[in-house]
Amino acid sequence: MERLAGRVAFGNVNARDLIQLKRSLQQVPIIREIVKSMASNQDISILADKLDPCEEVTDLLETALVENPPLSVKEGNIIQDGYHKELDTYRDASRNGKTWIAQLEREERERTGIKSLKIGYNRVFGYYIEVTRANLHLLEEGRYERKQTLTNAERYITPELKEKEALILQAEEKSISLEYDLFLNLREEVKSYIPRLQDLAKGVSELDVLQCFATISEERHYVKPVFSGDRRIVLKEGRHPVVEKVLQSQEYVPNDCFMDGDRELLLITGPNMSGKSTYMRQIALTSILAQIGCFVSASIAELPIFDKVFTRIGAADDLISGQSTFMVEMLEARNAIMNATENSLILFDEIGRGTSTYDGMALAQAIIEYIHEEIGAKTLFSTHYHELTVLATELPKLKNIHVSAIEQNGNVVFLHKIKEGPADKSYGIHVAKLADLPEQLIERAAAILAQLENENGQVKAIPEQPAAEIAPIAEADPVTPVNEAQLSFFGEEAPKGRVNSSPKEKKVLDDIKSLDILEMTPLEAMNTLYKLQKKLK
């Protein structure tokens, strides 16, 4: 309705648009009655009272316009009979004239005896009597005036037809012109109702948003959030509303979050693809949903009111402006640091990864310390710099959490579960293996990693911290069993007495399994066996 009202205001609305407006307005009384019938509190009653049906507009359009008008407003046939007296007169003359034309055609056939004689019309020559060449000798001399010659026929005009043609065409032209003027007047009259239509559109849109909130909250089992004045975040079994919807049949692994005055900054570690970014974003989305009036994707939710949400997530550049990926990262970080308050929410994902290791780590630590000491905003900071986890011993309001993962038979398995304490390693080479990089490359990377760890020594992780106590929430449930559809990277354990195959051997075994031996010639079989043996060597 708001879009149609805008088109009316700009003067580019056609008759079909007005019919659509009428049909929309006809639904408003029905919606209003439904809302009033379910009004259990004063707010719902006020919302129902906002729905002004604009009966005057509905009645006007119902009286003036035909139900299925043409797209063009300059070709007529858009105004209903009985709406305007002068228009009805022109239409009557036009319709009766056409009846007279049909009667004249019958009389001319009887007079001449030519059964194929017909009276037609085109925009260039007007009305005409068409006779085939084989019947020209049957025409009465002096009565017919030649008007047009065709290949197989001649077209004529008579004094009677000429007189009636002028009357009919004049009536049609005046009718179309008058219809167009009447439509313009109708459009101007509807324009005077635009303020009411806009208010109605706003009321309907409010109802639409609330209905959307109610539907999604019921279907996805959302919970009503509670707002706290002491800046606490307490989320039990929180989920990411979008990812959960996309997964559909697969089970989304929920996670808790607790932040208060002693837990202002959470440092999140864990492997790539394990769900660090998802966890950060679900907390931000949950806060936004709560503050726009919707239930949230959790079983228990206590939230503060955030004045702003700042994010530094993903990798992007702005080459046109001469800004590298790292420069964009720093500018986004600056925006958050300069504008955040203690009532803000900050999400920083992998700050410092766009430069050298020590530069990036130094910047990341300095940013963490600045937020901790100078801003005090609730902050979620994910990183692969495990060295930063020692900050939990220096900054009292910083706590380590990690997304858990386990290693089985050389493969990484993501549990998607948030636990207290830092992660033990990043599993970067395992993720590269999942991406199906060449085995030779993976093996070389593993050898280089082992060499670097031997030379430099692994950074010792802080022992896992005990879970923070969450006062209003009951004891945590046992770890949610992970759905196999979501955890698609479980490795199979080797049976007892058998040594696990190397990646190279496993690849050869997979190749052998995929062979269709019965369809191979002896020569093809020998060549294939040779290639497989070569791979193993």
Question: In sequence order, what DSSP letters do the residues of 170-218 get, joined into one string?
Answer: HHHHHHHHHHHHHHHHHHHHHHTTHHHHHHHHHHHHHHHHHHHHHHHHH
* CA angle (234 as vertex; 230, 239 as ends), nearest 5: 145
Task: Kindly state whether residues 340 and 388 are assigned to the same domain.
Answer: yes
H/E element holding 502?
Answer: none
Residue 12: domain span: 2-82+187-214
| Main-chain dihedrals φ then ψ at residue 105, nearest 5 degrees | -60, -40
Task: Kindly state whether residues 117 and 43 are assigned to the same domain.
Answer: no
Strand, coil or helix: 530: helix
| CATH number for 239 | 3.40.50.300
| CATH number for 32 | 1.10.1420.10
CA–CA distance, 128 with 123 (Å, rounded to integer)? 11
DSSP for residue 492: P
CA–CA distance, 207 with 322 (Å, rounded to integer)? 46
pLDDT score recorded for residue 317: 62
User: Is 208 a member of any domain?
Assistant: yes
User: Is 469 a member of any domain?
Assistant: no
pLDDT score recorded for residue 502: 72
pLDDT score recorded for residue 141: 84
Task: Kindly state whether residues 96 and 58 are assigned to the same domain.
Answer: no
Q: Tokens 């959302």 — which residue? A: 222
Task: Kindly state whether residues 287 and 155 are assigned to the same domain.
Answer: no
**By CB neighbour count within 10 A (0-12 exposed, 13-18 middle, 19+ buried), where does 301 fall?**
buried
CA–CA distance, 269 with 350 (Å, rounded to integer)? 10
Task: Kindly state whether residues 49 and 140 are assigned to the same domain.
Answer: no
Task: Kindly state whether residues 367 and 305 are assigned to the same domain.
Answer: yes
Give the distance from CA 253 to its chain's centroid.
Answer: 24
User: Is 301 a member of any domain?
Assistant: yes
Task: Kindly state whether residues 295 and 378 are assigned to the same domain.
Answer: yes
Strand, coil or helix: 261: coil
User: Is 478 a member of any domain?
Assistant: no
* Strand-strand pairing, 378-382 and 265-269: parallel
- Given a contact cutoff of 8 angstroms between Cβ atoms, the answer to whether 285 and 240 are in contact is yes
Task: Kindly state whether residues 35 and 10 are assigned to the same domain.
Answer: yes
User: Is 459 a member of any domain?
Assistant: no
* Angle in degrees, 0-180, between the axes of helices 159-191 and 15-37, rounded to the nearest 10: 40
Task: Kindly state whether residues 320 and 387 are assigned to the same domain.
Answer: yes
Put residue 350 in one of left, alpha, beta given phi > 0 → left and psi -120 to 50 → alpha. Answer: left
Task: Kindly state whether residues 261 and 299 are assigned to the same domain.
Answer: yes
- The alpha carbon torsion through 189, 193, 194, 195 (nearest 10 deg) reads 150
Task: Kindly state whether residues 154 and 239 are assigned to the same domain.
Answer: no
pLDDT one digit per residue (tens) for the chain, 537 residues? 889 988 888 888 899 999 999 999 999 999 998 888 876 777 787 888 889 999 999 999 999 999 999 888 888 889 998 999 888 888 887 777 778 888 889 989 998 999 999 999 887 888 899 999 999 988 888 889 999 999 899 999 988 888 888 777 778 888 888 999 999 999 999 999 999 999 999 999 999 999 999 999 999 999 999 998 899 999 999 999 999 888 875 778 899 999 999 999 999 988 777 788 899 999 999 999 999 999 999 999 999 999 999 998 876 666 676 777 788 888 888 999 999 999 999 999 888 776 767 888 888 899 999 999 999 999 999 988 888 999 999 999 999 999 888 777 767 777 888 989 888 777 777 777 777 888 888 888 888 888 877 766 544 434 444 444 444 433 334 434 334 334 333 444 444 444 456 777 788 888 888 888 877 887 788 888 878 887 887
| Main-chain dihedrals φ then ψ at residue 112, nearest 5 degrees | -95, -20
User: Is 200 a member of any domain?
Assistant: yes
Tokens in use for 384? 């692969």
User: Is 465 a member of any domain?
Assistant: no
Task: Kindly state whether residues 156 and 203 are assigned to the same domain.
Answer: no
Task: Tell me how many domains the chain contains.
Answer: 4
User: Is 274 a member of any domain?
Assistant: yes
